[in-house]
Structure 1
Amino acid sequence: MNLHKKSLQAILLASLGFSVITIHQVIAGNDSFAKQRVKVVSKHKLTPASYKINRQKAKKGYAYSAKLATKKFKLANYPKTSFRATYKETLSVNGKKRVYYYIKSTNIKKSVAGWVWHSYLTKSSSAKRISITSKKSLESLIKSAPDLQPTSTIRSLPNSIYDKYRSVFNKEYNVGNFSDGGTFDHHTAVIYVTDSDLVQAVSYAI
Structure 2
Amino acid sequence: MIMKQRHGIITVILAMMFSIGFLANFNAPENVEAKQTVKVVKVQKVASKPYRASKGYMYNSAKLTKKIHNLKNYKKTTFYSKKRVTVRTSSNKKSTYMYVANKNGKIKGYVYAKYLKLYQPTTINIVGTPTNSGNTQTETTTPNLISKANLESMIATSPDLDPTGQLLSLTTGDYATYKSVFDKNFNVGDYADNGVFNNDQASIYVESSQLVPYVQKAIDKWNNALGSIVFTLGTRQSHSMTLDFGNGQIAGWDGVFFGNGIDVDYTSFHDSTYPYGYLPMSSNQPVTIHLSTDDTSGVGDGMAAHAANNFHYDRTNHYLTTTITGVPRELLETYWVGVITHELGHSLGLDHTPYFQDIMAAQTGVEDGQSQENMKYNWTDYKDADNTQGGTMTATLTQRDIDRAKLTKLLGYW
TM-score (norm 1): 0.50
Shift of residue 87, structure 1, vs aligned partner: 0.6
Q: Closer, same or farther in 2 for the Cα pair 1:95/1:69, shift >3 Å?
A: same
- Contact 1:42-1:89 within 8 A present in 2 as well: yes
Q: Is 2:43 the partner of 1:69?
A: no
Correspondence 1:203 to 2:160: yes
C-alpha deviation, 1:171, in angstroms: 3.2
SS in 2 for 1:51: strand
**Quick one: structure 1 residues 89 and 178, their matched pair in 2 at CA, closer, same or farther if it must change by over 3 Å?**
closer
Q: Which residue of 1 aligns with 2:78?
A: 82
Residue 178 to residue 49, structure 1, CA distance change in 2 (3 Å): closer
Q: Is residue 33–residue 69 contact of structure 1 (8 Å, CA) maintained in 2?
A: no
Larger gyration radius, structure 1 or structure 2: 1
Provide the C-alpha distance between the structure 1 equivalents of 2:161 and 2:47, rounded to a whole number of angstroms: 23
Change (3 A) 1:44 1:120: same
Identity over aligned residues, as a percent?
27
Per-residue deviation, 1:134: 4.4
Q: Kindly state the Cα deviation for residue 71 of structure 1 after the two structures are TM-superposed.
A: 1.0
Which of 102, 116, 132 is the aligned partner of 1:105? 102
1:41-72 Cα deviation digits (max 9, x unpaired): 1002101000011x3xx1xx210022101111
Higher helix share: 1
Q: Quote the residue 1:130 is aligned against.
A: 123
**C-alpha contact 2:127 2:140 (8 A) present in aligned 1:** no
CA contact (8 A) 2:128 2:140 kept: no
* Higher RCO (CA < 8 A, seq sep 6+): 2
Shift of 1:120: 0.9
Write the distance in 2 (CA, Å) between the matches of 1:110 and 1:68: 19
Aligned match for 1:91, one of 74, 87, 92: 87
Q: Which consecutive residues of structure 1, in runs of 5 or more, have no partner in the other structure? A: 1-30, 137-159, 192-200
Q: How many residues align?
A: 125
- 1:171 correspondence with 2:145: yes
Secondary structure at 2:150's aligned position in 1? coil
Listed as ranges, the matches of 1:1-206 within 5 Å are 33-53=33-53, 55=54, 58=55, 61-66=56-61, 67-93=63-89, 94-106=91-103, 111-126=106-121, 129-134=122-127, 164-165=138-139, 167-168=141-142, 171=145, 175-177=148-150, 191=157, 202-205=159-162
Question: Are residues 203 and 96 of structure 1, via their aligned partners in 2, closer, same or farther at CA, if it must alter by over 3 Å?
Answer: same
Runs of 4+ in 1 over 3 A off after TM superposition: 133-136, 201-204
